[in-house]
Every structure is written in C-alpha cells, then in structure tokens.
Amino acid sequence: MPPKKGKKGGKKQDEDWGDDDNKIEEKMKNLMMNDDEENNSDEEEKKPETKTAPSSKPKKMSKKEQARKMAEKILTENASEDGDSDSEESVKKSKKKGKKKVASDEDENTGSDQESDNEEDEKQNNKAKALTHKEKKALEKKKKFEAEMDRITKKGGEGHSALDANFTVAQAFKTGAALTQMENAVDIKIDKFSIAAKGKDLFTNASLLIAQGRKYGLVGPNGHGKTTLLRHIGNRALQIPPNIDVLYCEQEVGADERSALQTVLDADEKRTALLKKAAELEKQQDKGKNVAENLTEVYEELRAIGADQAEPKARRLLAGLGFDKEMQDRSTNKFSGGWRMRVSLARALFIEPTLLMLDEPTNHLDLNAVIWLDNYLQTYKKTLLIVSHDQSFLDNVCTDIIHLDQCKLWYYKGNYSMFKKMEIQKRRERLKDYEKQEKKLKELKASGSSKKKAESKQKEALTRKQQKNQTKLHKNDDEDTGPTELLERPKEYIVKFRFPEVSQLQPPILGLYNVTYNYPGQPKLFKKVEFGIDMESRVAIVGPNGVGKSTFLKLLLGDLEPIEGEARKNLRLKVGRFDQHSGEHLTAEESAAEYLMRLFNLPLEKARKQLGSFGLQSHAHTVKMKDLSGGQKARVALAELTLSAPDVIILDEPTNNLDIESIDALAEAITEYEGGVIIVSHDERLIRDTNCQLWVIEEQGISEIDGGFDEYRKEVLEELGEEVFNPSVIANKAIEQ
C-alpha cells in the first residue's frame, strides 16, 4: 500500500532534545507544524534551564513515525505516577523495546553509560512492583493502544483481502492532539481523503463521517468506488480510530472439517481461548488448590461473557440464513461457495464488531433469508455500513444514506426513499442555478462582454455566493475551497427499459399437469403438481433455497422431462428468459453493438440506442464482449431479450447484476408489459412494484399465498421463532432519534 499523504510539512528545526517532559511534548508538536520558516529564536526562549545535550540535528523522521512517537509520549505520561517531569524519569519512560531513546544530560558521558543504565533498570523494576491498581490499568490501556496503532499501520481490519498496488491514497495528516482524540473516539471522522485507482480519481477531498450506532446505506452508480471505500476502511488504509474494530464481510469462509456451527463459534476468539484453558485446567484438578482457583476464575469469565448463550445465538443466526439443524452440523467443505458465504455472514453477525460493513449481502441469499436478515438488522445495536441494490432492504434497515456522487460523499438523514425525494429536489435546485448562470452569461455577451470576461464575472459572483454560504455555516475562514468554476449541467442517470408489444394468445399458454419429478437417486421434489399461466399472469415464485424453484422453471419450459404428467405449451408462444447467469455466454471478440446488429439485422444506430436504453454506457457499445463486466453483460442480455419480442418473460434472480435505477426501470417495464411474467427473486421491491401474485413451493407442491407479501413475510419469521417488526415503524423511529 502506498504511503499516506498529508499536508506539506515545514522544515525540521535545528534543536536540542531536552529532558523535561513538557518540553518534549512541545518540541514534538513543533515537528508536526506546517510552517516553512525557521524558528531558532523561539526555540532559544523555550529551552529549559536544565542542562541539555550538545546541539545536533536529529535524524529526520517520517510523518508516520512522528505521529507514533507523539502517541507513545502522550500515553507514557498518562501511565506515569504523578506526571513527574525531572530528567531522570524522562529517560526512564523513554525506554521501550525497539524504540529510540530520547537524548538527555545522562547521555553526555557515554563512558559510564552501562553502569548507569543497570542502576536505572533496577530502580525501574522496583518502581514497577510498586504500581497501584489504577496505574497498572493505565499501562494495560497503553499497551492495548500501541497494539491497535500497530494494527492501523500494518494489519488492517478483519474479514478483508489485501489492497493491491493499483490504489493510491491521500488524506489529511493528523497531529499529536488529533491522535490523542482518536484514542477514545466512538465515531469515525476522516476529512479530505482521496483515492485513485490506476490513475482514475474515485474520491477527491471527500469526507467520511460514521456516527456510533447509526446504520448507513452507501449508494451511487456501479463502478464509482463504493466497494473500494469499504475495502480501504476494512484494511485501515484510512485513519480509523484504533479502538474501533471494523469487519468487512467480503470473503467466504474456508472449506475444512469444522461444522458450520463450530466455524461461527470459533469466531469468538476470547470464548474459544477460555474454553481451551478450562479444558486444560480440568485435567489438572488433582494438582492442588491453585488449579481449582484458576479454574473457578475461568468459569467466572465464561459466565461474564455469556458463553452459555453462544451456541443458541449461533444456531439462530444460521437458521435465519437458511441452515437447518443437519446443515448447521455439516462440515464446511461440503458446502458450495454461496453457502460458505452465508457462514461468513453468520460469523460477522455473531462477532458484532463496532463497525460491520456488508457489500451486497442479499446477493447470495434467497427471499426467506433476506426477510430474516432485514428483520434482524432493524434492531441491530452496533454501527452498519451497507452497500446494496435492494431498495426495500435499505428502506427497512438504514437510518442514514451516504450518496457517492462526483467523487464526494453526501449525507442524508433517513432511509433510501427519503433520500430519493431530497436528492431529486437537490438536482432541481442545481439545474435551476445552472440555467440562471447560462442566462446571465448570455446577457453579458449580448451587452458586449467577451466570452472570457463574461465567464470571469460569473465566477466572481459564484465565489461571493460560496463565501456567504460558508459564513452562514460557520466554516473555517482558512479552509481552501479551491478556485470557483462555472456550474455544469447536472448529469442525470436515466435507465429506461421497454418490452415490446405482444400478440394475444388464448389460454392456457403454459402449464404443468399432474407432474411428478425427482433427480436420479434423489427424493421426489414434486408430486402431482398442477400449475398454469396466461397472458395476464404476474407470478412470483418463492420458497427457501433447495426446494426446487429453478427445477420448477426447467420443467415448465421443457428443459427437463417429468417422470409423470406433462408440460404443455402454446405452439405460437415465444418465451424470453433472463437469469443471474445471463450474459455469461457473451464471450465473443465482437462488440455488443455488433452482436445485436448480427442477431437481429439492425443498423448500428438502432443497436446502440437499444443498448443505451438499458443503461450500457456509450463507450462500452464498441468494447469486445469478452472484456465487459458481469453487470454490463447483463444489460446486453436484457437488450437481447426485449428484441426477441417474447410473449412471456421468465426472470430468475434478475437483479443481482443491476443497480437500483435499473431495477426500478425493470419493474416499470414489467408493469407496462402486456405479456405473462414469472419471477423468482429475493428483491421485495421488485415483487411489490410488479403486483405479482405469490406462489410458494413447499411439501412437493406449489400453492398460491393468500394475503400477499406481508402475510408471507410474517409466516417466514414466525416459523423461525422471530419477533416480527414493522419495517416502517422501526425505520421512522430510528430517523427521529
């Protein structure tokens, strides 16, 4: 990882390092000042009366070393007995393994250093024995802080993968005082950081604010840096307070012989260590009174951390994410990657870090698991930062929205729906300001001003307005806001899907009649199933993973032959299919535009228009399809689907590679579509907005649900033994707080 960049530092002073504690702190602060002038006269006035070492220019330290030394100095002072500042104690306190000792008057006569140091070591050891309980606690706190400082600069957070060399990071450098504040900080506040990837700016002078106990949804167009931000926080590449533990749930758990349950339980390292210690002590109970006392202490610690509740909690989390009892006890090497990702999510929820970051957590889940996770996180007490394309999930869980736009982070109180209303209003205001500017420029040019002069006058007007706004907000007068530029027309991200008109066919057009099916050597999935749709059908098929939703669709479309019964299809019927793997076949050397031109005999202009309407950016129209991302290929596949003019569309988890705007566009297109629709989806918003009738697969059959989505949600949660929360009530209560 490249070194962190900060404000430009001033020249290092030619000064002596005195042995007075307070003076050391002053001199360390001077090292952090952003001053380009020499302050030799000031330093002479600040010198203590005590004798100092001969003047010598200290070895230049990096800013990171300066910050660490400052933090060590402050912590050492807090841990000392009475804040003594005599030179002898200053030297003692500077002793630390692997650290450079501060020069003092004892260092002048190096010939007798060894003997003097031995005496001091003996005194220091005697003093350590006399430490009070309070002082011991202070020293423990110091060690913990130093360990966390080391973790900031070396290890990063948990649950992350390493950042590669493609990223560069710059952030405002924190001085000694700011580092001290970080020690006990409960919120994350990072001012003016920048991140670039392969030379492309993702964040420019952005500010991150994460308040304790809030639940944030991070939103913005795909490919603009949301995941990058989470990874940088998880790796502690940004300046995260050391006492805030962060977990970025990114990778699936490893495949080994441990059960899913044990893998989750082992995430609590303290509990695991105490249980191991207890087991060892239990084997030695006959070896004396001390062993029994130690064992009692371990039992007390286990009781204090609620170790007896760990397994019920872990089983509850796994059950909510779709694991039955047998699966919970199954070794992880017998699960697919998707199921191991669920184990990873259960571990993250079990640990309950101070800040939990989830990146598209619903992508690997079925609807039942999403319903449970949504309900569970509504009462989650710790801080959350979530990237998700599931609007209902963001509405139900989040108390705040962070919008990534134009390399900056913008903050909104409330859930996603509230953010959209405010963001639309904000965009209107920006458009209004832009139109005013253009009108003024036109008037200035008409009055005889040159284009350059007119733009200069308009910039001056914008600067005055900006300064006025800063005064109202009580901003620092010294803050550099940069040169004022003319306003640009606000960019709108518009996605518009449209399915073509269809020919009306007489029902029934597609159905299963008395169908029974099972895979070879497996129990029956379906028994005597009856199901059919017509041109007006809007059906959402639901049920937990493993009940056979995808198999049901394959039987319906004739991809699988039933053991008993038959599938019937209107001979004139054209079926369009789209699933989470659609687009994976698009690996050719030809571009997306060339592909559609060849397949449907289209002119270039019409092919590009079709791709653009599905949100594929113009530069990607001529890129070879093998080089497109999964999301871009999904848009090409949707464009192909609509051009095929189907009478019925079948969508199997269509939202996984789409952003929120595209999902909204898909829902609107389905609503306007005159053909039949069958959806398998974990996206509540898509199901609700398309007015789909829910059909649940269970007990080897399929049946219609009375009462709609809310009734199904209630059934799922009650079956798991969970308290059912009203999403809107929970969200609004959190917003009010």
Q: Are residues 220 and 120 in the same domain?
A: no
Is 494 domain-assigned?
A: no
Q: Are residues 197 and 296 in the same domain?
A: no
Q: Residues near 443 by Cβ (< 8 Å), separated by ≥ 6?
A: none
User: How do residues 47-80 score in pLDDT, each as one tens digit?
Assistant: 444 333 334 444 445 544 554 554 454 444 444 4
Which of 283-287, 372-376, 392-396, 610-614 has the weakest average pLDDT? 283-287
112, pLDDT greater than 50: no
Q: Which two tokens stand for residue 491?
A: 């960019």
**Mean pLDDT in residue range 333-343:** 93
Q: Are residues 188 and 285 in the same domain?
A: no
Alpha carbon distance 59, 686 (integer Å): 63
Residues of the chain above pLDDT 70, percent: 70
- Which DSSP state fits 633? H
Q: Residues near 447 by Cβ (< 8 Å), separated by ≥ 6?
A: none
658 touches 389 (CB < 8 A): yes
Question: 423 or 93: which carries more pLDDT confidence?
Answer: 423
Q: Side chain identity at 360, as an amino acid letter?
A: E
Question: 41 or 548: which carries more pLDDT confidence?
Answer: 548
Residue indicated by tokens 């999904």: 634
Give backbone dihedrals phi and psi of 611, rounded to 5 degrees, phi first. Answer: -65, -40
77 touches 39 (CB < 8 A): no
Look up the CATH number of the domain holding residue 635: 3.40.50.300
For the chain, what is the radius of gyration of the CA atoms? 32
Which one of 387, 414, 441 terminates a domain?
414
Is 304 domain-assigned?
A: yes
Is 613 domain-assigned?
A: yes
Q: Are residues 207 and 282 in the same domain?
A: no
Q: Are residues 86 and 132 in the same domain?
A: yes
Q: Are residues 539 and 605 in the same domain?
A: yes
- Give the per-residue pLDDT at 75: 44
Give the chain's mean pLDDT. Answer: 78
- Give the per-residue pLDDT at 308: 86
pLDDT band at 585 (very low <50, low <70, confident <90, very high): confident
Count the residues in the chain.
Answer: 737
Q: Are residues 708 and 568 in the same domain?
A: yes
Q: Side chain identity at 366, as an amino acid letter?
A: D
| 3-state SS class at 408 | strand
Is 496 domain-assigned?
A: no
Give backbone dihedrals phi and psi of 447, rounded to 5 degrees, phi first. Answer: -85, 0
Is 462 domain-assigned?
A: yes
Which one of 313, 333, 353 terminates a domain?
333
Work out how many domains the chain is built from and give that number. 5
- Whole domain around residue 685: which residue ranges? 510-730
- Give the per-residue pLDDT at 259: 96
Is 488 domain-assigned?
A: no
- Give the per-residue pLDDT at 450: 67
Number of alpha carbons in the 13 Å side-chain half-sphere of residue 185? 21
Q: Are residues 546 and 647 in the same domain?
A: yes
Is 74 domain-assigned?
A: yes
638, pLDDT greater than 80: yes
Q: Are residues 145 and 164 in the same domain?
A: no
Is 502 domain-assigned?
A: no
Q: Are residues 448 and 564 in the same domain?
A: no
Which of 45-54, 140-149, 608-617, 710-719 has the weakest average pLDDT? 45-54
- Give the per-residue pLDDT at 685: 93
Q: Are residues 83 and 181 in the same domain?
A: no
* Nearest 10 degrees: Cα torsion 453, 455, 456, 462: 150
pLDDT band at 127 (very low <50, low <70, confident <90, very high): very low
Q: Is 295 exposed, middle or buried (0-12, 13-18, 19+ CB in 10 A)?
A: middle
Q: Are residues 397 and 440 in the same domain?
A: no
- Give the per-residue pLDDT at 293: 85
Tell me which residue of 64, 222, 238 sits closest to 657, measured CA to CA: 222
